Structure 1
Amino acid sequence: MRFASKCVRVKIDNPPQPSPRSAARPEPVPEPERPVRPTEPRIGDPAWFERVRASLRGHTAQFVASRCAEELAPLGFAEPIRALGGVIGGGKALRPTFMYLGWLCGADESEAALRASASLELLHAFALVQDDVMDESDSRRGRPAAHVRMARWHARGGHTGSSARFGESAAVLLGDLCLVWAERMLRESGIDAAAAARVWPHYDAMRAELAIGQLADLLNDAAHFPSLERVLDIARRKSGNYTVRRPLELGAAMAGCPAPVLEALGDFGGLIGEAFQIRDDLLGLFGDPAITGKPAGADLRDRKATTVVVLAGQLATPAARARLHQFLARPELDDHAVADALTLIDKSGAPRRAEQMIAERLLRAESVLDRSGVDPVAAEALVRLARRSTDRSH
């Protein structure tokens, strides 16, 4: 018997729905991701230093632009404005950064404190412009010095009289203008009256010390081999204190730091300032022109009695000392004589002793902070900036 089979296809229009008990729970809807806010760099981190330096430069540039637009541009003084631009804002803003770190030893971050600190860039511009006139330096940071630019401007305009004399006179006046602007920027920074009142005594002392140090430096002739202590004293007055110690004290006083903290920062700044100047003296003899903006041996050509030159006089053999003295007594030093003198200084061991002096001061300065009671975060940032400012290899 044969059975026939049929295949029946059933069309299902609506598939059966699961019962409520067996129904799968719906997938949760994912919440939108919240934007991640960038964290502020920690005080003392490289990114923090870059942010602070950019802010300091921005405040200075904004202030100078407003003053130039109001006071110089209406007179058609485009070249003086360009000359000022060559010395303002082109450095590493060390002095304003030290001042701001002094503030952070007793207060929180503040835009007004940044503006007040930035005013030191104008004070530094005043010192640079007049220093180049006194040293007869043709360049600053690889560009023509202010008095050179002003002399060329005078010559191009066909004015009567000595263009060189005009350039020097004009540069001195531009430096004076920076000095006036520096105080005005500090006064208009936005810090409160009590903070400003604490700053002015330190500010006045720093300016007087800078001028007196420069005056003493004019008589500091390398041909006479002054004592190392005298050279260091002049270096503290004209550069070291004004670069590190006084800015730190300004910032700390502005923040209302107690006397023990001010004293510790003063001691720290004095040591780092000396180390800074010794490094500057090494660069003035053996520095890379691409970094210093000046030819190697520039301090020898200017007969500057720097720490390294005086150390060479102390450490060299009697014969080498006599030969070095002969070089420094010459009316002019050509490239060959400068190279020979640098060889004598190097063989004396003076550069290596100078490096030791820098390292010793760094260690002593760090130990001052260790027992100072300064906020640890601010102290760490100070040490980092101190190392950077006394290295300057790039």
Structure 2
Amino acid sequence: MRRRTGATAPLALRDAGPPPSGCPSGNALPGRGDTCSAGLGPDTVDADVPAAVGRMLVGVLGEQVARAAEIEGTFARDVAARVARFTLEGGKRTRSQFLWWGLRSCEDRPGACAVEPALRVSAAVELIQTCALIHDDAMDRSPLRRGRPAVHAEFAGQYATPGTAEAAGRFGTSAAVLAGDLALAWADDTVAGAELGAETAPRVRHIWRAMRMEMVAGQYLDLYGQVAGSRSAALAVRTAYLKSARYSVERPLALGAALAGADEDTTRALCAAGRCAGVAFQFQDDLMGVFGDQDRTGKPSGGDIREGKLTYLLAVGRARAMERGDRAALALLDRCVGDSELDAADLERVRAVLVATGALGLVELRIHRLVARSIRHLAAAALEPSAAARLRGLFASVAGLRTATVRGPAPDVITSPVPAGVAEGGAV
């Protein structure tokens, strides 16, 4: 596709934001075939995986925004360019890093990987994450993401006028649903465009299909736990398993293993490691949702409490209060959890209960043990040493731990409500 001129080309640059470092600048994002990743070797990607994936995204998104402009200008400006900007500006590319280092850890010959397909599938993973975040914020009515207005809030503010706040809010939510749908469609397009071998393609597409459905299942369980008023630790863990363990860690690792042509035993061990680290990832996210600093997380602290989300942290807090017969603590949790107007003083009281009951300390201990177990699974697999070391660091990082704290052997038994299947790497 040739680069478009006139009003369309500046649209991509203006609304999608500047390209990552190392990519072309000018009046438009790259078009078809100009992915910014041509000629990259694996060692170059190793040095900065997020930047390499960002370069691929510039090309992929430039093509998609140009296509959108050919269909309809307002849609391209408001929706397509906003999805592109959100994706390009976003996050640490954690899932892409798991995919890349999963691939590198499974290579028989260092430097043998096909960079282009790996980066293209990584770009698709980032787009499905865009879909998940846009939809999640709209469903949770969260006003902020990454320290700036969430996509649904941006849409609402774009067309709000005096006296139309309610209608603008409905519009923002509806438009955000469409934006998330578009990101998911682009993700599928990106995987479909990857040049995969005859043996690799079925494996990658099987994992991709499973990951998409698991993501939706995890999001639904998140909503279901709220509307059902569930206090089940088992359901909280099941939600964490689908929402983070599978989608955020295990499946990206499996995609990397598939791209590397890894054998069944290696893939199984890698996925078991990812499953444990992924549950730890969600548990840490739950902690940050209650105790985190907004300047660090980019989201209002206490959102999970105000929304009444079923998290493992809250489930453990209630269970510990019941064990102790602490009626005051239970009454406070009953009154505050799910109160959308909860003030700072009551939020601090909830935090105090979660500390006093031992829930905070217990969840922190579970996180540590799950990460230790994940590293134990890695050690059991025949992985490339330097790539395996990168994975150990990533596991510790997403769980909020320093690598040095999880180098020792994992305990033989995890004495917690975490299902044995998660702890041992089997199905839940």
**Could you state the TM-score of these two structures normalised by the residue count of structure 2?**
0.76
* SS in structure 1 at match of 2:262: coil
Q: 1:65 to 1:48 in 2, by over 3 A?
A: closer
What's the CA shift for 1:192? 2.9
Contact kept in structure 2, 1:105 and 1:257, CA below 8 Å: no
Q: 1:329 to 1:138 in 2, by over 3 A?
A: closer
Provide the rounded CA distance (Å) in 2 between the counterparts of 1:72 and 1:145: 23
Q: In the alignment, what sits opposite 2:134?
A: 129
Mapping 1:188-337, distance limit 5 Å: 188-221=193-226, 224=229, 226-316=231-321, 317=324, 318-319=326-327, 320-328=329-337, 330=339, 332-337=341-346
Q: In the alignment, what sits opposite 1:110?
A: 114
Q: In the alignment, what sits opposite 1:13?
A: none
Which AA in structure 1 matches 2:393?
Answer: R
Structure 1, gaps ≥5 residues long: 1-39
Provide the rounded CA distance (Å) in 1 between the counterparts of 2:361 and 2:119: 38
Contact kept in structure 1, 2:42 and 2:113, CA below 8 Å: no
Which AA in structure 2 matches 1:346?
Answer: V
What's the CA shift for 1:41? 12
Provide the rounded CA distance (Å) in 1 between the counterparts of 2:240 and 2:338: 22
Q: In the alignment, what sits opposite 2:358?
A: 349
Q: Deviations over 1:141-196 (max 9, x none)?
A: 11111111112223369999922222111111111111111111122233334322
* SS in structure 1 at match of 2:400: coil
What's the CA shift for 1:303? 0.8
Q: 1:71 to 1:53 in 2, by over 3 A?
A: same
What's the CA shift for 1:326? 2.6
Say which of 73, 80, 87 aligns to 1:75. Answer: 73
Contact kept in structure 1, 2:305 and 2:336, CA below 8 Å: no
* SS in structure 2 at match of 1:163: helix
Q: In the alignment, what sits opposite 1:93?
A: 93
* SS in structure 2 at match of 1:88: helix
Provide the rounded CA distance (Å) in 2 between the counterparts of 1:286 and 1:49: 34
Provide the rounded CA distance (Å) in 1 between the counterparts of 2:260 and 2:242: 24
Which AA in structure 2 matches 1:54?
Answer: A
Which AA in structure 1 matches 2:288?
Answer: L
Provide the rounded CA distance (Å) in 2 between the counterparts of 1:228 and 1:364: 20
Contact kept in structure 1, 2:152 and 2:173, CA below 8 Å: yes
Q: Which moved more, 1:302-311 or 1:64-73?
A: 64-73
* SS in structure 2 at match of 1:191: coil
Q: Percent of counterpart pairs with the same letter?
A: 33
Say which of 372, 375, 385 aligns to 2:394. Answer: 385
Provide the rounded CA distance (Å) in 2 between the counterparts of 1:332 and 1:168: 20
Q: 1:360 to 1:135 in 2, by over 3 A?
A: same
* SS in structure 2 at match of 1:87: helix
Contact kept in structure 2, 1:279 and 1:391, CA below 8 Å: yes
Which AA in structure 1 matches 2:62?
Answer: A
Provide the rounded CA distance (Å) in 2 between the counterparts of 1:49 and 1:348: 44
Residue 369 of structure 2 corresponds to residue 369 of structure 1:
no
Contact kept in structure 1, 2:214 and 2:242, CA below 8 Å: yes
Contact kept in structure 2, 1:55 and 1:114, CA below 8 Å: yes
Provide the rounded CA distance (Å) in 2 between the counterparts of 1:292 and 1:344: 22
Provide the rounded CA distance (Å) in 2 between the counterparts of 1:126 and 1:331: 25
Q: Deviations over 1:335-370 (max 9, x none)?
A: 222222122112222111111111101111111111
Q: 1:111 to 1:330 in 2, by over 3 A?
A: closer
Contact kept in structure 1, 2:284 and 2:400, CA below 8 Å: yes
What's the CA shift for 1:204? 0.7
Structure 2, gaps ≥5 residues long: 1-39, 403-428
Contact kept in structure 2, 1:345 and 1:351, CA below 8 Å: yes
Q: Deviations over 1:15-66 (max 9, x none)?
A: xxxxxxxxxxxxxxxxxxxxxxxxx9997xxx97651110011111221122
Q: 1:84 to 1:156 in 2, by over 3 A?
A: farther
Q: How many residues align?
A: 351
Provide the rounded CA distance (Å) in 1 between the counterparts of 2:275 and 2:343: 36
Say which of 184, 187, 202 aligns to 2:189. Answer: 184
* SS in structure 2 at match of 1:333: coil
Larger Rg over CA atoms: 1
Q: In the alignment, what sits opposite 1:35?
A: none
Contact kept in structure 2, 1:198 and 1:256, CA below 8 Å: no
Provide the rounded CA distance (Å) in 1 between the counterparts of 2:140 and 2:102: 32
Contact kept in structure 2, 1:222 and 1:306, CA below 8 Å: no
Which AA in structure 1 matches 2:73?
Answer: L
Q: In the alignment, what sits opposite 1:65?
A: 62
Q: In the alignment, what sits opposite 1:169?
A: 174
Provide the rounded CA distance (Å) in 2 between the counterparts of 1:154 and 1:42: 45
Which AA in structure 1 matches 2:316?
Answer: L
Provide the rounded CA distance (Å) in 2 between the counterparts of 1:331 and 1:119: 35
Q: 1:82 to 1:230 in 2, by over 3 A?
A: same
What's the RMSD between the two structures over aligned residues? 2.7
Provide the rounded CA distance (Å) in 2 between the counterparts of 1:329 and 1:177: 31
